[in-house]
Structure 1
Amino acid sequence: MIELRTGRTRAFHVLRVLLLAVACVTALPTLASAQGSAAEYERARTHRQRFAGLVVGERVEPVWLAPDRLVVRRVLGADGWRYMVVDAGGGDLEDAFDHERLAAELSKELDRPFDGALLDLRILSFDRERVGFVLGGGADGFTVRRSGRGLERVALADLDGATLAVTERRRSGPGRGESSVLFANDSSVTVRLVWLDADGGERDYARVAPGEQHAQHTFAGHVWLVRSGDDREFGPFEAQGHPGLVRVTDAALATRPREPERTGPPPRDPSNSPDGRWRVVTDGARVELENRASGERVPVDLADVPQDERTRRVLWSPDSTHAVLLRVVPGERHVVHMVASSPKGGGQPRLESMDYRKPGDRIDALRIAVVRAEDAREVPLDRAALPNPWSLDELRFTDGATLTLRYNQRGHRVLSLVAIDVASGALRTVVEEAPDTFVDYSQKAWMRHLASRAEVLWTSERSGTNHLYAVDLASGQLRAVTSGPWVLRAVDEVDEAAGTALVRGLGVYPDQDPYHVHFGRVDLVNGGVTWLTASDGTHTIEWGPQREYLVATWSRVDQPPVHELRRASDGALVAELGRADASALTAAGWRAPERFTAKGRDGLTDIWGVIHTPTDFDSRASYPIVESIYAGPHGHFVPKSWAVHRGVHELVELGFVVVQIDGMGTNWRSKAFHDVCWQNLGDSGFPDRIAWIRAAAESRPWMDTERVGIYGGSAGGQSSTRALLAHGDFYDVAVSDCGCHDNRMDKIWWNEAWMGWPIGEHYAEQSNVTQAHRLVGKLLLTVGELDRNVDPASTMQVADALIRANKDFDLIVFPGAGHGAGESDYGRRRRQDFFVRHLMGVEPRWE
């Protein structure tokens, strides 16, 4: 429950706005620049372009010469870069070759004109800033690439700097329509799929192990390379306008249009029993068991079968004695209608419709039926033991007689693993999650059967944070595999033979941001965790060829990427492979976001966020504050990794301080932190957000807490409007795009996950429609008329309620647009204008 409060009378608020306008005008001479001017709009528009390409070394592409020896390109700041050979055993780095000698050799070789149609094109003299080295041809050589006018010229040289060959090849042109390529690796080595971009640069997309396949989305005209791990090149492939097949052999590439391949025996029809004796035949509600030898069919005697019940899935026991049917009675069809007012090409408006279930709708009714093959009779099950399921999934036979399945009850307050003895029909709950609030089934429910032992790995928040457990299938006994104050973010790999799992953890190191991603190896038997990363940032990793070493890259919003070589056995740092150099970026005036932490509503819990300031920042000035909000309980949303440009910069550069905050109710902290959202989405963490902004402003007098705006889309649209309804004494201006303003109007799965089922009074209480009469401040609503994610009627019903309450507001409906229309060029510009006009007190783009 939350208490809505206006805090001030409307008359007082009007007086406040007038005083703010006067303050804005009188404060203009003290500002670092003229806020809201045409020049600032241009600066905001060009933020991405002005700072693009000013950071070097953001990526590292290690080339492994041996399991303990690799080559990397190391950035040396103003001195450029050099290729270094790294001895993983000792951590030593040394030059891979004589860079100066090679430069001289290549300058002579590549200055010669090329034969063919482009005789007038020449490769310029070697220039360290314009030509890149990449290892190739194994441990004894490398390639130098130079691109221009649709061709890429490649020189292969050895480590002594002698040029061996020069070739040319076509690079990717502009895409001419979507396509796809299936890469099938029939070679004996793992290969890399590399895309040649329009500038001749290479971008790694995937690694394909021997015997595996990879389906790659692409565009006609795009050129792909296939390389081995030691950079042996198998050849280029240009995607066509139809799906293609690229088969990689040890000799070369074989390409052709993709056709359905039939290799080996066809997959077994799940309707057929493993021994081939029986087949389940379904026709509407009717089920028959066919003797495949004689062709005789016997009707299955199913008890109390509704006329509209159907079989969704068939699963046979390994001994072919029982067939398990997942049966479904379809739920109601909820059709949402929208009008395309302005069809492309003109003409009359067009009605568009979509199936779109909403909270409270009747969902598919699921049940399990077990059929005994011997007499085609249903084995009686206690149907009341699995009431009103939202889903029945993870069906699996753990032995010849026991079926396990995961049961998620509608309302998401019960999630359990259930075992069924198919011979007797006895049901047994192996493990159950039944918290007082909700089970985060969509983000944290993960399980994995261990074939080597009668156990299931299972994630749970029963300790107060998300962790991994091992569940004994026979006894149901739980054993904590991981524990402690940190949060299990994901299980990426399970190695049953080694008895380990690769996991991602959050909050691993108490002195770091609790949202930093760290990787660890978990011992599935004794529960010990060996953390493989430790640096103060959020991480990604790439394994060496035999997984004895890993390359870890970490960054923060205020720290460019750092690349480290670490030992896989204990996570020890072997060597720092390089750091991205952002000196040119900062010299150009770019400002990194500032990380800030303050206590939340309870005075105890740390709330994390970032503060963005404009490139012409002046600490003597006074800046209005705008919060970019997204408080969806499915995740956390404050950026944690490095980026030069973010969408918020389009407001920051106009002269706003933009903040982003993860308040209570968002995900991936403790269970108690998350539970704040339960049946309470209107809360949106505002008590924490307001406390955080006030705390930040106490030591930053340039943050003006008397001028505060907020914006967001989708769930952020719901929250930003709520800011003016419930906290109009703090927030003055809001822009809300495509908001799910009433949780009864939005998609069923997302809203019932956090608001629960059945529909109660709390749904109305949390609705921006029912609370619209409490509006204080300036509000802009935007929506795409053909939004298929959030029913656009959700926004229109808020508008209707505001009109009925005689409240002033602004509304933009985007003809023909879908979800997120407010992020279009026009929508972003109107958002900028709205904040400039109402927080700065000036007309936008003044000269």
Structure 2
Amino acid sequence: MKYLKFSCVFCAFITSFLCAQTKELTLEDIWKHGTFQQEYLDVLHSMTNGQQYSVLNFDNVSGATSIDIYDYKTTEKVKTLVSSTDLEVLPYFTNYIFSPDEKKIILAINEASIYRHSVLGHYFVYDVTDKSMMLISKERIQEPTFSPDGTKVAFVKSNNLFVKDLQDGTTTQVTFDGEKNKIINGVADWVYEEEFGFVRAFDWNVDGNKIAFLRFDETQVPEFSMDIYGTDLYPKQQVFKYPKAGEANAIVSLHISNLEKNTVEQIEVGKPYHDFYIPRIKWTNHPDVLSAQYLNRHQNALDLWMINVTSNTANLVIEERDQAYVEVTDNLTFLPNNSFIWTSEKDGFNHIYHYDVSGKLVNQVTKGNWEVTNYYGFDENTERIFYQSVENGSINRDVYAIHLNGRSKTRLTNQLGTNAADFSADFSLFINTYSNATTPTQYTLHSSKTGKLVKVIKDNAALKQTVSEYKLPQKEFSTLSVNGNELNMWMIKPLDFDESKSYPLLMFQYSGPGSQRVSNTWTSSRDYWFQYLAQKGYVIACVDGRGTGYLGANFKKVTYKSLGKFEVEDQIQAAKELGKLPYIDAQSIGIWGWSYGGFMSANCLFKGADVFKMAIAVAPVTSWRFYDSVYTERYLRTPQENSKGYDENSPIWHVDKLKGDFLLIHGSGDDNVHVQNTMRLSEALIQADKDFEMAIYPDKNHGIYGGNTSLHLYRKMTKFIDKTLGKNKGKITQPIN
């Protein structure tokens, strides 16, 4: 096991901190009292003048919200642009969207979640000049979006696309065939929202006279139903279209609404496709040229098309191909001459490329055995690209600038940990969001030319002071040699750790393709729980095995067609290696995880029955046959093509191997990983005559939270850990507090 150089920094930090730490951590501190809540810059927007930014502020006393403008260089508040205290019709608002000229603002109220990203709400347009208000629609709507000139707003209501003229107040209906669980216009269906990560499926052209949008025909997609128990005498049923692996997807088509001609036309490209996705559409700088990404169902062939919607011609400019799968990119950026920036893994690592308008490669901008993890934009004045990467170690993030020609690269951040940038509109300044495992989130202003610090905005000093009052052990980062690879790992030990003693070990992991759980960033609520467990005498460890991200495409894609094989082998072997340490009790090793991590922990307990004493699986996938088409087929292809890959590593087919203690947890209202997974695994365990424990949280979604839920959940898991890992060692003597 190799410890990274900066582990000693953490040790020095701990030593200097010990004298101030006196309080014992409780579960109520973490999930009830809000003891460790951080300060954030909410809904940050860079103003077009490049000198100011806006933030959504909430007044805890009055309950009012406001959009406040701050000066970048002084970070002082310049003015309040709008406050709900001055608005008769709005006691508060929860979000805001500027028009491109910043003369109007969409204010959101009564927003209610549909699925993970989608919401329905009421929205008002506030005129900054005359302070007038206009309700966009009396009914709740989705995704209101200004036209480029700010004179119109497009939105979706009841699965149809509408346009409201803000000058005369009229509303025009663009589509008429929208119907629940049949036809959707302008917003994504369930699986696109969840797996391609977007809700708004329409886009204005630069002249504001055309709207491109996607239409989803869900007619043949099988329905899934969930009982919603609520508080009424009879439960209600939620029914929605959910394409499981190998089942029918929605038929997607691309359309153009010409607002001047009041017409809607379907667009087809020159290459015939069958059973495909359109995961991204985006207008170029030319008002008649639209880009669209087409992806085959296997997701190993992605085509970028440039479509002239006036001449009805389409040019195929990029063809991405992979033996496993191609990642869809969000980083397509059109330069003034309509050449474009694109990111790709085609050389084995995610990097930035520059292409001309025809798709001919101009140059590869970034190169190396490391990943670009975020793309921030292109500054036309200096011809520099700004991006985030793991050049300084895969568990860290730094912000860089590089010229379009790939030269003069500059590292703009200098603190080891996780850095993320929000640039001013003119790219002259950026707000850096920074944290590491011992530093709460800090917001600082920097020059984008050199990275030089201009001013500290927020440093969460109050939180740091609060943390200093508790006996909190910290993460130690290292690598672990497992199955021929050096895997990233963190470990949390008890504060009074004694290497001559033997401690139970609880392993945590997620392990999904491209994921990362070993990162040098500030503590989350779950990390506080790990510290709480360490306080009680456990060692906690997390190992990112094969299939996880930021170490190159080969490392990530090794799990292709066999999810749950190499990842499980790595966790079992990691447990064996850690069990050899003199301070780990090899007979008291447990593992837990959530979602993909729950799938993993169940598999590890069953397949590694002689290694793991216990496992907790929260909201687990128990057979990939039950999960959605886009995610599952990307990594396994369809069940019809790869039944072995689906079943060999399904926990359901390994229940007979169970020896240890098993806790299975799910929310009954989980629209993502359905409770069906847990019910089917439960039935398999029962028929195999295997004892286990189970908890169902009524109407809770995949996150299992709300009210007292998180506290209840983590208390239940803690008691289970104490009962199964701590009962024979005499080390876990503190009661749950």
Alignment correspondent of 1:480? 364
Equivalent positions of 1:459-498 (< 5 A) are 459-474=343-358, 476-477=360-361, 479-498=363-382
Alignment correspondent of 2:618? 737
Cα distance change on mapping 1:214 and 1:514 into 2, 3 Å: farther
Matched, 1:406 2:289: no
1:241-295 per-position Cα deviation (integer Å, ceiling 9, x unaligned)? 997887767xxxx9787644999754699999xxxxxx9997769xxxxxxxxxx
1:478-531 per-position Cα deviation (integer Å, ceiling 9, x unaligned)? 52111112211111222234322221111x12xxx4121111112123454221
Alignment correspondent of 2:221? 333
Cα distance change on mapping 1:324 and 1:355 into 2, 3 Å: closer
CA distance in 1, matches of 2:606, 2:349: 33
Q: 1:653 aligns with which of 530, 535, 542?
A: 535
Alignment correspondent of 1:754? 635
Cα distance change on mapping 1:207 and 1:622 into 2, 3 Å: farther
Matched, 1:686 2:686: no
Q: 1:366 aligns with which of 252, 267, 270?
A: 252
Cα distance change on mapping 1:538 and 1:472 into 2, 3 Å: same
Matched, 1:807 2:680: no
1:787-826 per-position Cα deviation (integer Å, ceiling 9, x unaligned)? 2221111111111112222222222223343334496333
Q: Structure 1-normalised TM-score?
A: 0.62
- The alpha carbon displacement at 1:709 in A equals 0.6
CA distance in 2, matches of 1:560, 1:49: 18
Q: Which amino acid aligns with 1:333?
A: V
CA distance in 2, matches of 1:260, 1:219: 13
CA distance in 1, matches of 2:615, 2:564: 15
Q: Which amino acid aligns with 1:749?
A: V
Secondary structure, in 3 states, of the residue corresponding to 1:769? helix
- The alpha carbon displacement at 1:435 in A equals 0.6
Cα distance change on mapping 1:259 and 1:343 into 2, 3 Å: closer
Cα distance change on mapping 1:524 and 1:174 into 2, 3 Å: same
Equivalent positions of 1:147-296 (< 5 A) are 172-173=60-61, 211=102, 259-260=135-136, 265-266=151-152
CA distance in 2, matches of 1:309, 1:644: 40
Secondary structure, in 3 states, of the residue corresponding to 1:770? helix
CA distance in 1, matches of 2:592, 2:350: 31
Cα distance change on mapping 1:709 and 1:677 into 2, 3 Å: same
Secondary structure, in 3 states, of the residue corresponding to 1:776? coil
- The alpha carbon displacement at 1:336 in A equals 1.9
CA distance in 2, matches of 1:192, 1:669: 45
Q: 2:513 aligns with which of 623, 633, 657?
A: 633
Secondary structure, in 3 states, of the residue corresponding to 1:716? helix
Instruction: Tell me the matched-pair count.
Output: 622
Cα distance change on mapping 1:402 and 1:349 into 2, 3 Å: closer
Q: Which runs of 5+ in 2 are unaligned?
A: 1-22, 42-48, 52-57, 71-76, 85-93, 112-120, 138-145, 156-160, 164-171, 187-200
Secondary structure, in 3 states, of the residue corresponding to 1:338? strand
Equivalent positions of 1:51-70 (< 5 A) are none
Q: 1:45 aligns with which of 27, 38, 42?
A: 27
1:101-143 per-position Cα deviation (integer Å, ceiling 9, x unaligned)? xxxxxxxxxxxxxxxxxxxxxxxxxxxxxxxxxxxxxxxxxxx
For the 8 Å contact 2:162–2:175, the answer to whether it is kept is: no
Cα distance change on mapping 1:650 and 1:526 into 2, 3 Å: closer
For the 8 Å contact 1:192–1:207, the answer to whether it is kept is: no
CA distance in 1, matches of 2:296, 2:503: 49
Secondary structure, in 3 states, of the residue corresponding to 2:624? coil
CA distance in 2, matches of 1:833, 1:575: 46
CA distance in 1, matches of 2:214, 2:446: 48
CA distance in 2, matches of 1:194, 1:660: 46
CA distance in 2, matches of 1:420, 1:525: 27
Alignment correspondent of 1:436? 323
Secondary structure, in 3 states, of the residue corresponding to 2:625? coil
Secondary structure, in 3 states, of the residue corresponding to 1:569? coil
Q: 1:796 aligns with which of 654, 669, 679?
A: 679
Alignment correspondent of 2:73? none
Secondary structure, in 3 states, of the residue corresponding to 1:749? helix
Q: Percent identity?
A: 21
Equivalent positions of 1:513-662 (< 5 A) are 513-541=393-421, 552=432, 554-559=434-439, 567-571=447-451, 585=467, 588-603=470-485, 606-643=486-523, 646-662=528-544
CA distance in 2, matches of 1:531, 1:669: 20
Secondary structure, in 3 states, of the residue corresponding to 2:517? coil
Q: Structure 2-normalised TM-score?
A: 0.70
- The alpha carbon displacement at 1:675 in A equals 0.4
Cα distance change on mapping 1:438 and 1:398 into 2, 3 Å: same
- The alpha carbon displacement at 1:839 in A equals 1.4
Larger radius of gyration: 1
Give the stretch that moved more between structures: 321-330 or 621-630. 321-330
Q: Which amino acid aligns with 1:495?
A: D
Matched, 1:728 2:728: no
Cα distance change on mapping 1:607 and 1:58 into 2, 3 Å: farther
The alignment's C-alpha RMSD in Å is 5.3
Q: Which amino acid aligns with 2:501?
A: A
Cα distance change on mapping 1:387 and 1:497 into 2, 3 Å: farther
Cα distance change on mapping 1:398 and 1:406 into 2, 3 Å: farther
Q: 1:448 aligns with which of 329, 333, 348?
A: 333
